[in-house]
Structure 1
Amino acid sequence: MSDERTLRDYDGPAGGWDSLKSVARHLHEQHIPVRGAKTLLSMNQPDGFDCPGCAWPDRDHTSTFEFCENGAKAVAAEATALRAGPELFARHAVTELARYSDHWLEGQGRLTTPLRYDAATDKYVPIAWDDAFTIIATHLDALPSPDQAIFYTSGRTSNEAAFLYQLFVRQYGTNNFPDCSNMCHEPSGAAMKPQIGVGKGTVSLQDFEQADAIFIFGQNPGTNHPRMLGELRAAAKRGAAIVAFNPLRERGLEKFADPKDALEMLHNGSTRIASDYFQLRIGGDLAALKGMIRHMLERDADVLASGAPSLLDRAFIDAHTSGFEAFADDVMAESWDTIVAESGLTEAQLRKAGDIYLGAGKVIACWGMGITQHKHSVATIQMIVNLLLLRGNLGRPGAGACPVRGHSNVQGDRTMMIWEKPPVAFLDRLRDVFGFEPPRTDGYDTIGAIEAMRDGRAKVFFAMGGNFATATPDTTATHAALRKCALTVHVATKLNRSHLVHGREALVLPCLGRTEIDMQATGPQAVTVEDSMSMVHLSAGINAPASPALLSEPAIVARLAQATLGDRGHVPWRWLVEDYDRIRDLIARVFDDFHDFNARVRVPGGFQLPNGARDRNWHTADGRASFRAHAIPVDTALHRARAGRDAPVFNLTTVRSHDQYNTTIYGLNDRYRGVSGERRVLFAHADDIAALGMAAGDRVDLESLGEDGVRRVARHFLLADYDIPRGCLAAYYPETNGLVPLESFADQARTPTSKSIPVLVHRPTPEASTASRDIPLDVIV
Structure 2
Amino acid sequence: MTTEQKITRYDGPAGGWRALASVKDTLLAQGIPVKGAKTLLSANQPDGFDCPGCAWPDRNHHSTFEFCENGAKAVAAEATARRATPEFFARHTVAELAVQSDFWLEGQGRLTHPMRYDAASDRYLAIAWDEAFALIARHLNALADPNEAIFYTSGRTSNEAAFLYQLFVRQFGTNNFPDCSNMCHEASGAAMRAQVGTGKGTVTLQDFERADAIFIFGQNPGTNHPRMLGELRAAHQRGARIVSFNPLRERGLERFADPQDKLQMATLGSSPISTHYLQLRVGGDLAAVTGIAKHVLEMHTQRGGVLHEDFIAQHTAGFDALAAQIARTPWAQLEEASGLGEAQLRAVGDVYIGAERVIACWGMGITQHRHAVATIGAIVNLLLLRGNIGREGAGPCPVRGHSNVQGDRTMGIWEAPPPALLDRLQQVYGFAPPRAHGVDTVGAIRQMVDGRCKVFFALGGNFAAATPDTAATWAGLRQCGLTVHVATKLNRSHVVHGREALILPCLGRTEIDMQPGGPQGVTVEDSMSMVHLSMGINPPASPELLSEPAIVARLAAATLGERSSVPWSWLVQDYARIRDEIEKVFPDFADFNARVAVPGGFRLRNAASQRQWATASGRAQFSVHAVPAPGPQRHEGRVLFTLLSTRSHDQYNTTIYGLNDRYRGVQGQRQVVFIHPEDIAALGLAGGDRVDIHTVWDDGVQRSVHGFVLVPYDIPRGNLAAYYPETNPLVPLDSVAEGVGTPTSKSIPVVLTPHTPRP
Shorter chain as normaliser: what TM range?
Answer: over 0.9
The reply on whether 1:672 has 2:667 as its aligned counterpart is no
Contact 2:218 2:365 in 1 (8 A): yes
Deviation at 1:47, TM superposition (A): 1.0
1:456-505 deviation digits (Å, cap 9, x = unpaired):
11110000000000000000000000000000000000000000000000
Q: Residue 689 of structure 1 aligns with which residue?
A: 680
Equivalent residues, number: 759
Superposition map of 1:696-715 within 5 A: 696-715=687-706
Alignment of 1:271-350 (within 5 A): 271-304=271-304, 310-350=305-345
Q: 1:423 aligns with which of 418, 421, 429?
A: 418
Q: Is the CA contact 2:362–2:399 (under 8 Å) kept in the aligned structure 1?
A: yes
Could you tell me how far apart the structure 2 residues matched to 1:689 and 1:419 are? 44
Q: Report whether the alignment pairs 1:112 with 2:112.
A: yes
Which residue does 1:653 correspond to in 2?
644
Contact 1:473 1:737 in 2 (8 A): yes
Partner amino acid, structure 2, of 1:648? V
Q: Provide, for residues 699-733 of structure 1, a one-character-per-residue CA deviation record: whole Å limited to 9, x for no partner.
A: 11000112211110000001000000000000001
Q: Which residue in the other structure is 2:208 paired with?
A: 208
Counterpart of 2:724 in structure 1 is 733
| CA offset digits 1:71-101 (Å, max 9, x no partner) | 0000000000000111111110001000000
Q: CA deviation at 1:766?
A: 4.2
Distance 1:716 1:201 in 2: 41
Which residues in structure 2 correspond to 1:60-209 (within 5 Å)?
A: 60-209=60-209
Shift of residue 295 of structure 1? Answer: 1.1
- The percentage of aligned residue pairs carrying the same residue is 70
SS of equivalent residue, structure 2 residue 638: coil
Cα deviation per residue 1:621-651 (whole Å; 9 max; x = unaligned)? 011001111001127xxx15x4664210000
1:597 is matched with which residue? 592
Two-structure CA RMSD over aligned residues (Å): 1.2
Partner of 1:567, secondary structure, is helix
Query: 1:619 is matched with which residue?
Result: 614
CA contact under 8 A between 1:435 and 1:569: conserved in structure 2?
Answer: no
Structure 1 residues 79-124: Cα deviation after superposition (integer angstroms, max 9, x where no partner): 0000011111111000100000000011100000000000000000
Superposed CA deviations along residues 515-544 of structure 1, whole A, max 9, x for unmatched, are: 000000111000000000000000000000
SS of the aligned residue for 1:476 comes to helix
2:742 maps to 1:751: yes
Residue 99 to residue 644, structure 1, CA distance change in 2 (3 Å): closer
- Partner residue, 1:779: none
Give the letter for the 1:8 counterpart.
T
Q: Is the 8 A contact 2:2 2:668 kept in 1?
A: no
Cα 1:260–1:484, aligned 2, differ >3 Å: closer, same or farther?
same
Which of residues 375, 379, 383 in structure 2 aligns to 1:388?
Answer: 383
User: 1:4 offset after TM fit, Å?
Assistant: 9.7
**Partners of 1:167 and 1:586 in 2: CA distance:** 10
Q: 1:545 aligns with which of 540, 549, 552?
A: 540
Q: CA–CA distance in 1 between the matches of 2:627 and 2:364? A: 19
- Asked if structure 2 preserves the Cα contact closer than 8 Å seen for 1:60 and 1:606, the reply is no
Amino acid at match of 1:737: N
The 3-state SS of whatever aligns with 1:683 is strand
1:355 pairs with 350, 355, 369, which one? 350
In 2, the alpha carbon distance for the partners of 1:413 and 1:158 equals 7
Does the 8 A contact of 2:634 with 2:640 survive in 1?
A: no
State how far apart, in whole Å, the 2-side matches of 1:546 and 1:64 are.
Answer: 24
Q: Counterpart in 2 of 1:34?
A: 34
Residue in structure 2 matching 1:514, options 501, 509, 534: 509
SS in 2 for 1:389: helix
Change (3 A) 1:34 1:575: same
* Cα shift at 1:62: 2.9
Q: Which runs of 5+ in 1 are unaligned?
A: 305-309, 769-781
Q: Partners in 1 of 2:29 and 2:252 — Cα distance?
A: 25
| Aligned 8 A contact 2:42 2:64 in 1 | no
Shift of 1:333: 0.3
SS at structure 2 position matched to 1:720: strand
> In the alignment, which residue of structure 2 is the partner of 1:452?
447
Quote how far apart the aligned CAs of 1:60 are: 4.9
SS in 2 for 1:761: strand
TM-score, scaled relative to structure 1: 0.96
Residues in 1 aligned to 2:517 and 2:412: alpha-carbon distance in whole angstroms: 27
**1:771 equivalent in structure 2:** none
- Asked whether the equivalents of residues 3 and 697 of structure 1 are also in contact (C-alpha less than 8 Å), the reply is no
Does 2:756 align with 1:761? no
The one-letter code sitting in structure 2 at the alignment partner of 1:133 is F
CA contact (8 A) 2:60 2:66 kept: no
| From 473, 486, 494, the counterpart of 1:491 | 486
Instruction: Please state if 1:12 is matched with 2:7.
Output: no
TM value normalised by structure 2? 0.99
Deviation of 1:299 (Å): 1.0
Paired letter, 2:185: H
Residue identity opposite 2:265 in structure 1: M
1:369-388 pair list within 5 angstroms: 369-388=364-383
Write the letter of the residue equivalent to 1:749: V
Give, in whole Å, the separation in 1 of the partners of 2:599 and 2:77: 27
